[in-house]
Structure formats: structure tokens, C-alpha cells
Chain A
Amino acid sequence: MAIIEVNGLVKRYGEHTAVNGVSFAVEQGEIFGILGPNGAGKTTTVECVEGLRSPDGGAIRVCGIDPQRDSGELRQLLGAQLQQSELPEKLKVREAMELYSSFYRAPADWRDLIDTLGLTAKLDTQFRQLSGGQKQRLSIALALVGGPKVAVLDELTTGLDPQARRDTWDLIEQVRHRGVTIMLVTHFMEEAERLCDRLAVIDSGRLVALDSPAGLVARVDDRQRIRFQPSAPLDHAVLTALPEVTSVERAGSQLVVTGTGNLLLAVTAVLARNQVIAAGLRVEQTTLDDAFVALTGRSIDS
């Protein structure tokens, strides 16, 4: 059963329609990504799910709860990490955890959380003295301290250096292993591809596509391209005879084989049979970036 259901969500700000009929369902235990360029309506969508904004149309259910009608119960079940949300400058990590634990009916063990998030050494450090990565991790800890069933993480790794970003991704996977369903808002392709089971691509307030990262790529183009330098001359006909191959071209000393399906296996099997070694072999695939451009007609950073 879906843990989050969004049906025909509409949210307007004056004349501007920020979200225009978005529908999706998130399954229990999933990492569900919401991907789109800045200003696409991602944050507005999750803020409606979090009950922070009231929708102008459509229906939302989180664990069967209407966020507008029963926000008290929702807040026990849903942990939110918001963009641009700070803590009092001089509040210490320990105090923040004790304080936020006291807000919940059945809080998680915050010491255990802090340990998982690698902040144990920082317990007596004030918020203002934490690095960007540490602030983000504390923010995740606060989103999880209520022992939520669902965690909504908005632009979690924006502003982090590459190493901190990768560490945060590992953390998200650990959180999922605790049994928490995660809704992740991002505009980083790599993040979406690496973490998400499924992605909702949102552009200009509309849902453009909903699929797994691989599914999105395949939907746009499932062609693959293999480049290699054959160790001996090879008759192109033995390759074009394969059902997976659509074309073979010569580019300088290299062969470029284009095709679909399990292209790599088919081609390497033929090469082995003909005792040809493929030097410098590379497989080029359509990336999620390409898929995004194809779906929205523009690059995510534009």
C-alpha cells in the first residue's frame, strides 16, 4: 500500500500556478526522488505533503492522514528536513537533540542517531561552530528524532563539498535500512541516480515523468554505443548479423557499434569467437541528464 498518495495537487500563489495537477504515490520503504530545475514546484509539492501549505486542489494522504485535517498526528509520523532552516546560534548539538526529542510521543534514541550520523564528538559544540556538512547531518538527525515513518529531505546536499555529499548519500541509505520511507527533493542528477528507487520529474508545476532512473533513461533512448579498437581486421558483417546491432561504423582505428538490448554481451561473444581482442573498450549510454533534457526540453541547470 502506498504510504504517500498525492492526487491532482494544485497550488497557486496569486496568478502563478506553482503546482498544476501533480499525482504520484510513494511505496513503503522506497527512496522516492522529486527531480526538477529550480522553481519547478518541487518544494511547494513537498511542503503540501508536510502540511506546511494548504493545497488549492487535489488530495494528499500520508499514512492515510490528510495533512491539513490532522496535522498533529502527521507530525508524529513525518520528519522534515527543510531548506534554509537554522537553529539558534548558540544552541549545542546535545541540547537541540534533547529539545526536539521532548516534542514527540515516542522519540527515537537520539544518542544512537547522533552516533550513526557521526556527530558524537560534536555534542557540546554550538550550532554556529558546526561546518556546513555537520549542520546538514544535525538537520537529518532532527528530522529523524521523532522516529518517523516518512522522512522528507529537501535539497539535502546543496552547498556541500563532494566528499560531504557522498557521505550524506551513504547516510540516507542507512536511514532507509532503518525502515524509513524517504522522499528526496533534489536537482542533482547524480544524487537522484545514485539514491532513488523511483523519480518524479517535475517541470513548470507539472509531472513530466515517473519511473526508476534506469526506466527514465530507457524510455528516452535505449540505444547504446560501444567503442573499441579491434586487435585484428574484422568483417563488419559478423557484427551487423547480430539482432542487437543496428549499425557499425569505423572511426579512425576504432569501431563504433550501436545497438540495443544486451549489446555488450553479444558483441564480445562474437569478438571472442573470432579471436579478436577489443582494446580500449568503452560503453556509452544515455544518461539521466540526457533523459532530463529529452523530457523537459532543457538542461536541469538552466
Chain B
Amino acid sequence: MSALARLTATETKLFFREPIMAFFALAFPPILLVVFGLIPAMREPDPDLGGLRAINAYVPIIIAMTLALFALTSLSQLFATYREKGVLRRMRTTPVKPWVMLGAQLLMATILSLATTLVVLAIGRLALDVNLPLRLPAYLISYVLAALAMFAVGLLVASLAPTGKSASAIGTLVFFPIVFFAGLWLPRAGMNDVLRTISDFTPLGAGVQSLQDSTAGQWPQPLHVAVMLGWTIVAGGLAARYFRWE
């Protein structure tokens, strides 16, 4: 087995040995959707959301939240802890290139968040009558862009945090505004103009809108694509700039 495959498999095994973290990243998003789905008002068309049912608005929000959970709890904390404990340092003495470790983490986060996303979409479709994305390629592109932007932010936190504990504290601090502007408390359609404009420029505000647009059969708006790419490049670039292996 190649080093990348072996590392990804090993990291995934380790991920499942932290039951609380695994629960939050994998089970919490579907559970949240089910809970929302049990509220009758969420299943009625809502004039405040332009006639959209709230539950339909929440499917992409919960999918985006899953990305934030992976990026800001699992990814950033793991990397900072590995650096603190000398795991990365030991790896540096082997022929494995540093990017392989990074690649394995990103691969794992992508595969697992994609799995959660599929579960959320399936529950939405089967139990809550939420239609599946009409324009699948647009949806996939939106998803990948949102994931890249979010993972870049997670890696930036990992680069800046001195220890695993501080990475988890910073990650939590960053998590709340990010999911707020993604619409977790108030979907974008219900936000006032100021909030929605700020949301447009956050990675998951842009992400949620793009997922929503492609679910409705449109292509994501150029602004949102640019915002997600911008976060990926800026946060990713800063993360690479400040990254330390020890």
C-alpha cells in the first residue's frame, strides 16, 4: 500500500477511536436535520424565506456545517496536537514528504464529510421530501469549493495555534461566526441586507448559497465562486506561510 493510502487509512482508524469527535462530525448533522424535520413549522412554506420551506433551506446549511466541523475541530486540532507531540517531527525523519501527511488528512476529511453529506441528502429526500440537487455538476463544484475554503481556514488555525488545546479553542471561536453566516440560526433568505452581504463574503455563506442555487438548478453566482476561491488562496497561502512542522 502506498504511504498516502496507508496514512489515510490509519488516520481514519484513529478518527473513529475518538467517539465524541466522530459523533459530532458524522452523526450530529443528520440528527440535527431530523430534529428540525420534526418541527411542523419547518415543513411549511415560509413567507420570510420567500416561500421556501425552512427545512429545504437547512439541508445545505447543515451540509456546510459538517465541513466546518471537520475543518475546525478535527483537522486543526489534530495537526496542532501532532506538531505539539512531535508526531510530525518524527515523520520528518522518514522519506515521507510532509505534503503526504497533509494530503492524508484532507482526503480523510473529504471522504468522511462527503459520506455525512450523502446521509443528510438521503434523509432530506426520503423523510422530509427535500428535492435532490437538480444540477449535479454545479452542486459538486460548489461542494468542492466550499470544502477547500473551509479546510484552508482549518489549516490556518492549525498553523497559528501553538498547541492542540489552543487550536481547539480558536477553532471553536471561529466555528460560531462561520456557521452563523452560513445561516444556522437564521437562513440567508431571512437575513437583512447587511447580514446577507457579510454572509456573501464568508466561506460558508458563499458555500450555502452556491449549494442552494445548484439545488434549484442554477449555476453558482460568480461572486460566491470568487469568495470561496479567495478564502482558499488567502487562508491556504497564509497556512502554508506560517506552517511549522515542529
Contact = CB atoms under 8 A, between A and B. Distances in A.
Contacts, number: 63
A90 B85 contact: no
B1 interface: yes
A102 B93 contact: no
B96 interface: yes
A98 interface: yes
Nearest to A50: B93
Contact of B90 (A78, A142, A146): A142
B18 A90 contact: yes
Interface stretch (A3-11, A80-88, A171-179, A192-200): A80-88
Given A99-B10, A102-B6, A85 B94 contact: no
B81 to A, nearest CB: 8
Contacts of B69: none
Interface string A106-148: 0000000000000000000000000000000000001100100
A233 interface: no
B85 to A, nearest CB: 4
A91 B10 contact: yes
B17 A90 contact: yes
Interface in B143-179: none
Contacts of B1: 102
B18 to A, nearest CB: 7
B14 A146 contact: no
Given A90-B14, A91-B10, A103 B87 contact: no
Contact of A72 (B10, B18, B86, B95): B95
A104 interface: yes
A52 interface: yes
A79 B13 contact: no
A87 B93 contact: no
Interface residues on B, range: 20 to 34
Which residue among B1, B13, B18, B92 has the maximum number of chain A CB atoms within 10 Å of its CB? B92
A104 B14 contact: no
A298 B17 CA distance: 50
Contacts of A82: 86, 89-90, 93
A50 B92 CA distance: 10
Interface in B44-98: 82, 85-87, 89-90, 92-97
B41 interface: no
A95 B10 contact: yes
Determine chain A's interface SS by DSSP, over half rule. loop
Contacts of B82: 88
A75 B95 contact: yes
Interface in A248-263: none
B90 A102 contact: no
B10 A87 contact: no
Contacts of A100: 94
B7 A52 contact: no
Contacts of A98: 6, 10
Contact of B86 (A50, A85, A102): A85
B14 A80 contact: no
A79 B90 CA distance: 10
Nearest to A90: B17
B90 A85 contact: yes
B95 A105 contact: yes
Contacts of A104: 94-95
Nearest to B84: A86
B17 to A, nearest CB: 4
Contacts of B93: 50, 52, 75, 78-80, 82, 143
Given A82-B89, A88-B82, A142-B90, A99 B14 contact: no
A109 B229 CA distance: 46
B3 interface: yes
A33 B160 CA distance: 38
Contacts of A52: 89, 92-93
A267 B97 CA distance: 64
5 contacts: A52-B89, A78-B93, A80-B93, A90-B18, A99-B10
